[in-house]
């Protein structure tokens, strides 16, 4: 779900297991109870009321346990910053940031559809362009990389606000803008981490017919997320705790959320018939490995980087800067692919 910065794993930190998920469950519950969030998703069952602790302790517990949950060390620094207030006061992040999506290129006959990059949690468009956009631009693609889901208090940090209420509608607006400026009938989307969920939700729910292809890099499509949220915690409490921590987009990826229900719809699939989907993952990704990234559906192709291109597994953050990923993304969009 993260931006592709990859800090080193803290020394001596053990891999996450059942005990870590149990402690995470308690941390999310106490944060949800300690800091009411009027617009939060779900409700808090009465049976967890006895876990109430003061706000500061709840925040500290959540930070510790979320960091423990992430054995690669990719999540910890972001969580520390979030709980320190970089994304706004806990439970009250403020209004969304305005979205700037300048279109400085035009599609060509060889690549007639503009490509919109959708970044991951804690990331932004300018950071994503050199990682996933420049390899496409060198092949002649017209690439746009907006920042979505940021709060006005910190507009450079996106992927935090609600997918249903902020990131998705913002991406829909960018799609409309890009099509109007370029004259393209459709666009293609490349989503990294949570950005794949935003791209998938927007394609199916908000702009059906406006997107031709979606490429997911280490993305989440509604499959098993037992490694991200603990089974022993009621999903509405997990969602509420994450929402209160100003991680609203992640909250909406908790099981049973209204956003996931709307995305899957009556046909119970995240995919829209007529759209080409390529889902790229690596077995080395401890946040979103293939079993969490890959969901069956019409027009859907699964690719594991090390199987398609050789070499060893990558990491969640490493996927965005891996040359194999760049080749697979370009090939999925009709460019020069292969490894």
Per-residue confidence at 11, pLDDT binned at 50, 70, 90? very low
CA distance 298 to 305: 21
pLDDT at 19 over 60: no
Percent of the chain's residues with pLDDT above 90: 58
pLDDT at 299 over 90: no
Percent of the chain's residues with pLDDT above 70: 71
pTM of the model: 0.82
pLDDT at 173 over 90: yes
Per-residue confidence at 257, pLDDT binned at 50, 70, 90? confident
pLDDT at 305 over 90: yes
Q: Give the pLDDT confidence of 198-226 residue by residue, as tens digits.
A: 999 999 999 999 999 999 999 999 876 55
Q: Give the pLDDT confidence of 89-104 residue by residue, as tens digits.
A: 878 899 999 999 999 9
Q: Give the pLDDT confidence of 321-336 residue by residue, as tens digits.
A: 999 999 999 999 999 8
CA distance 2 to 192: 8
pLDDT at 283 over 60: yes
Q: Give the pLDDT confidence of 123-169 residue by residue, as tens digits.
A: 999 999 999 999 999 999 999 999 999 999 999 999 999 999 999 99
Q: What average pLDDT does range 291-303 have in this prediction?
A: 90
CA dist 143 → 99, 112, 216, 325 (Å): 16, 11, 16, 17
pLDDT at 298 over 70: yes
Contact 293, 316 (CB under 8 A): no
């Amino acid at each position: 779900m993260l931006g592709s910065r990859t800090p080193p794993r803290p020394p001596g930190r053990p891999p996450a297991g059942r005990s870590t998920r149990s402690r995470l469950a308690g941390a999310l519950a106490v944060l949800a109870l300690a800091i009411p969030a009027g617009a939060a998703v779900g409700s808090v069952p009465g049976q967890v009321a006895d876990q109430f602790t003061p706000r500061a302790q709840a925040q500290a517990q959540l930070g510790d346990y979320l960091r423990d949950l992430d054995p690669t060390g990719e999540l910890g620094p972001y969580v520390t910053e979030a709980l320190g207030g970089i994304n706004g006061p806990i439970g009250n992040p403020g209004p969304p940031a305005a979205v700037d999506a300048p279109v400085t290129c035009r599609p060509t006959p060889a690549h007639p559809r503009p490509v919109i990059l959708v970044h991951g949690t804690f990331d932004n468009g300018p950071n994503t362009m050199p990682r996933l956009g420049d390899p496409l631009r060198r092949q002649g693609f017209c690439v746009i990389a907006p920042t979505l889901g940021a709060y006005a208090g910190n507009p450079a940090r996106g992927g935090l606000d609600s997918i249903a209420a902020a990131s998705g509608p913002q991406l829909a607006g960018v799609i409309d803008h890009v099509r109007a400026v370029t004259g393209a009938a459709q666009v293609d989307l490349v989503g990294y981490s949570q950005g794949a969920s935003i791209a998938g939700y927007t394609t199916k729910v908000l702009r059906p017919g406006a997107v031709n292809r979606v490429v997911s890099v280490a993305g989440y499509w509604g499959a098993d997320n037992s490694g991200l949220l603990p089974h022993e915690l009621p999903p509405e409490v997990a969602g509420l705790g994450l929402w209160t921590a100003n991680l609203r987009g992640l909250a909406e990826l908790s099981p049973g959320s209204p956003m996931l229900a709307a995305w899957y719809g009556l046909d119970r699939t995240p995919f829209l018939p007529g759209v080409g989907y390529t889902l790229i993952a690596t077995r080395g990704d401890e946040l979103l490995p293939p079993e969490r990234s890959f969901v069956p559906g019409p027009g859907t192709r699964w690719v594991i980087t090390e199987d398609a291109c050789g070499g060893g597994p990558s990491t969640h953050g490493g996927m965005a800067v891996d040359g194999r990923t760049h080749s697979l993304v370009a090939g999925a969009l009709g460019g020069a692919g292969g490894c």
